[in-house]
């Protein structure tokens, strides 16, 4: 089982890529947090994820690499 602490650690462990503004990266982190909230509370994550930097997708994995968002919600992963 994973916790909010695990989620926060996973999200914060991914550093902002060069070329991404602070604003854009904070928006990406909010989407990752929404995904984790759904995952931890047994809700379905329904937000479509489009064309993010490849590093972003690491925020959507458990610490052992399991994806928390179904692939059908990720475009161009």
What's 26-70 look like in SS3? Answer: HHHHHHHHHHHHHHHCCCCCCCCEECCCHHHHHHHECCCCCECCC
Q: Give the global pTM.
A: 0.85
Contact 60, 70 (CB under 8 A): no
**Distance between alpha carbon 27 and the CA centroid of its chain, in Å?**
11
Which tens digits make up the pLDDT trace of 12-64? 999 999 988 999 999 999 999 999 999 999 998 888 888 678 888 889 988 88
pLDDT at site 43: 94
Placement of tokens 């968002």 in the chain: 69
**Distance between alpha carbon 39 and the CA centroid of its chain, in Å?**
11
pLDDT at site 62: 87
pLDDT at site 41: 94
């Amino acid at each position: 089982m994973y916790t909010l602490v695990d989620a926060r650690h996973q999200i914060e462990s991914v550093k902002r890529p060069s070329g991404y503004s602070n604003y854009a990266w904070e928006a990406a982190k909010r989407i990752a947090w929404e995904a984790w909230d759904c995952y931890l509370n047994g809700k379905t994550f329904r937000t479509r994820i489009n064309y993010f930097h490849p590093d972003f997708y690491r925020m959507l994995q458990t610490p052992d690499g399991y994806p928390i968002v179904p692939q059908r919600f990720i475009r161009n992963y």
